[in-house]
Amino acid sequence: MEMEMEMVMRFPIFILFFQTIVLVPLIQSSDGLSGVELETQALLNWRTSLKNQTLDSWVFTTNNKTSHCGWFGIQCSNGGSVIEISLSNSNLEGTLGRLNFSLLPHLVHLDLSWNSLEGTIPPDIGSLLNLTFLDLSHNELSGSIPNTFFSGLRKLQILNLTRNHIGGQIPTSLVNLTKLHDLRLGYNSFTGPIPEQLGFVFSLQILELYENPLLVGPIPGSLGQLQKLQRLDISSCNLSSNIPPQIGDMKELIEISLSMNLLYGPIPPSIGNLTKLTTLDLSYNQLSGALPSEIGNLGLLTSLDVSNNTLGGSLPRTLSHLWKLEMFFIESNVFSGTIPVDIFEHVQLLGADLSFNSFSGTLPLGICRGNKLINFSASHNNFSGPLPEDLKNCTSVAWFVVEKNHLEGKVFEAFGSHPDLMIVDLSGNQFSGYIPENIDETMPSLTFLQLGNNHMVGTIPSTIHKMRDLVVLDLSGNNFTGTIPTSLPNMGYFMISNNNIMGTIPNSVGNMTNLVVFDVSGNRLSGVIPSGLGKCQSLEVLDLSNNNMLGSIPWSLGHLGILRKLQLSNNSLSGEIPSSLRNCSGLEIIDLGENGFSGVIPTWIGGTFSLLRILRLRSNKFTGTIPQELSLLRSLQVLDLAVNNLSGEIPRTFDNFTSMAIRLRDVHSSSNGENNEAMILKKYYEETVVIATKGQALPYSRTLSLVTCMDISSNNIVGIISEELTRLVGLLVLNLSRNHLTGNIPKKISALKELESLDLSNNLLSGGIPQGISSLTFLSYLNFSNNNLSGPIPSSNQMETFHESTYSGNRYLCGFPLLKKCGVPTQVLTPIHNEDDDDDVFGIDVSAGMGFGVGFGGFFFVLAVIRPWSHAYFKFMDRIVKKLLRAS
């Protein structure tokens, strides 16, 4: 029995061995074989070249010369000739090089799509004179199509090469395929322009060239001759031209997609001739002008997408003629005016997006006529007034976004019961009212609820925990009161900043294991930071700033391994920075300002947070020296250690702050943008940091990534301002005021060309003001007051715009804008070495000394020469001395 099983298992191996060793040589010397036998050998020869043997049924049988007609994917004519090969999605791996197409002269249908075939397309496919169907789509084919490829395929009707890596120019020989009605070349790497000759393949009904980013040039006007064309898709290429007016000649067109190109100019009015059109997609181009009124002629149109262009003006009233319109996307243009009253009077919309335009007036009425509306967005416009009345009965709606308009009214009175509603964004309007307690019943599928920056009142419903699908809850910037519910759903974004929420943060927040952003800043919360937050290991943003929080930072926060932003500023927190935060190595912002933290600044901060952009420890009770290890923070843009009890000198290694030593304006102008994760986070949370600049504290949010600042003011720092600091040429703000700094202002401070705010006041600095400081043309705030500076004030460019208070408290300074003039003649004050500004002061000292010496020496010279004067002078001095002795 075991021997029989072994023979059965070995039998397929024997067959394969026989085919490879015996049959292949036979194929190579095929003289005398019939055409059918040659077809069989051609197929087997190709099978042996494939990397994986998946065609198990392809087995040679010597006693049946037409056995191949029963193989998987093979169909034959009555005479036994192969007329069809259909091996779509058969896990084939290999090339087409070993398939001798010249031995398959009767082949009509060839489908090898959805496999892993690679290499080039063999030229001898062109010998298949009877071929009508060729589908090689969804493979890994490469190379180009030779111009002679189509010379023999005169019967070809369908050609599909979609989703390969085929390059080179589209062959002009396509014009020979007079029976071709379906040409699909999308998702490849074709180069050059679209050949004019395509317009002479008059039989074409489908033309797909989409996703060929190396296709350039214009859309040929010759395509207008394709009178039978029904589908035209040239999207996601790199075409640049007007839309040719000849497009209106293709009157059989049902679908057009020209999206994601560089097309410019107006939409041609001739497009109104395409009365059979159901889909028109011109999105993501550079089209301009008005939407032509002729679009109203497209009575069968169901989808219109002209989004992301520069189209403008008012919408034509003829849009109301599009009675079958279901999808209407015009977002991200410059449309203005009001929405025509009757535009949606007869349609039954499924989706509409009017966002990012300049529309005014009220939202269009009838948007939910027929109760089919699924998606509606009108964000970032100037709409005013209440929400449409028919919204209350719109049970079909799933997405309703109208953020950043001027809409008003008691918002939840406009809504009804919406079982499928998932996304609601009403933020940035003037809505009022409160969130109903039964929102979990009226909107049970809600995933995104954004009501930020309105005039909402009331409390956070206690039933919120029943909304199991809730991902984003944004109630920030309203007038909500009450407390944070003790039970919350396991959402990802919980944002209630800038309200009047009181009480404590419940420790049950630790159950929110999906939490990404927890922002409760700007409220009246008290109590300690709950240790349960340490369980929220998906947390990236923790913002408790501007509250009344007490106690220390819990050790458990060190468990937040992917935390990026820790903002605890402006509370009443105390204690030292826990070393457990070393585990949060991905931190980008640490803001502990305006608290009562104490101890030394940990040295491990420098070696741990390689991504740290902002370190703000301002207004605390930190002591000790500034750790040199902070200079390891190469990504640091903002260092704020002001108003503490720090001592020692400024580390000379601070010139290692790479992000302060480059001009961030240049970096961001050439940036390729942010990754998707960062963009998603930014959509729901906007980081804000207060930076002291130009003599005042200013919040930075949208422009925070462009700010570079070093503020070590109001400490006990000693020593000099080292020249190393002047290498931080990207600094916008430098504040070293209210310390005990000595020495001169470095001459190379003029290298800080980006400086907008410079404050060195209330120190012990001496010497002159470097002349080169007048070259800092961005400088709008300057304070040198209360030092020991001397000499003339530079008098050019920005320096002439500052008030005298900029220099007050420096008794030896002179020149504009001070009243004190520099009285020493110019030639005396001119330094011997022009490159050293301090020589000015030295010249003044030498002149004064010489004057004193000459005057004093001259006086005694007179006494020595004129004896009576000498006698009288010494007698007078003798009397003065005697009186002083008696007084003592």
DSSP labels, 620-669: SEEESBPPGGGGG-TT--EEE--SS--EEEPPGGGGG-GGGSS-HHHHHH
DSSP labels, 497-564: -SS--BS---GGGGG-TT--EEE--SS--EEEPPGGGGG-TT--EEE--SSEEES---GGGGG-TT--
- Calculate mean pLDDT across residues 471-488: 96
Q: How confident is the model at residue 859 (pLDDT cuts 50, 70, 90)?
A: very low
Residue 274: the pLDDT is: 97
Phi, psi of 162 (to 5 degrees): -55, 145
What is the rounded CA–CA span in Å between residue 346 and residue 670? 48
Residue 583: the pLDDT is: 95
882 has pLDDT over 90: no
Q: How confident is the model at residue 855 (pLDDT cuts 50, 70, 90)?
A: very low
Which carries the bigger pLDDT value, residue 338 or residue 825? 338
Mean pLDDT of the chain: 87
C-alpha distance from residue 302 to each of 315, 326, 667 (Å): 17, 5, 45
What is the rounded CA–CA span in Å between residue 360 and residue 381? 7
The letter for the amino acid at 483 is T
With a CB cutoff of 8 Å and minimum separation 6, the contacts of 599 are: 575, 576, 577, 622, 623, 624
Read off the tokens for 559. Answer: 């468990």
Residue 870: the pLDDT is: 43
pTM of the model: 0.80
DSSP conformational letter for 481: B
Q: Do the beta carbons of residue 473 and residue 497 sit within 8 Å?
A: no
Taking residue 746's Cβ as centre, other Cβ atoms within 10 Å add up to: 18
From the list 247, 164, 175, 250, the residue with the least C-alpha distance to 211 is 164
What is the rounded CA–CA span in Å between residue 480 and residue 81? 80
Condensed to tens digits (0 to 9), the pLDDT of residues 545-591 reads: 999 999 999 999 999 999 999 999 999 999 999 999 999 999 999 99
Residue 795: the pLDDT is: 83
- Which of the residue ranges 69-83, 106-120, 346-360, 673-687 would you say has the lowest mean pLDDT? 673-687
Q: Do the beta carbons of residue 307 and residue 330 sit within 8 Å?
A: yes
Q: How confident is the model at residue 665 (pLDDT cuts 50, 70, 90)?
A: low
C-alpha distance from residue 343 to each of 340, 348, 365, 601 (Å): 5, 11, 9, 64
- Calculate mean pLDDT across residues 762-788: 94
Reading phi first (left if > 0) and then psi (alpha if -120 to 50, else beta), residue 260 is in left
What is the rounded CA–CA span in Å between residue 538 and residue 136? 45
* Burial status of residue 330 (CB atoms within 10 A of its CB: 0-12, 13-18, 19 or more): buried
Q: How confident is the model at residue 614 (pLDDT cuts 50, 70, 90)?
A: very high
Condensed to tens digits (0 to 9), the pLDDT of residues 832-850 reads: 333 344 444 334 343 444 4
Residue 679: the pLDDT is: 58
Residue 682: the pLDDT is: 62
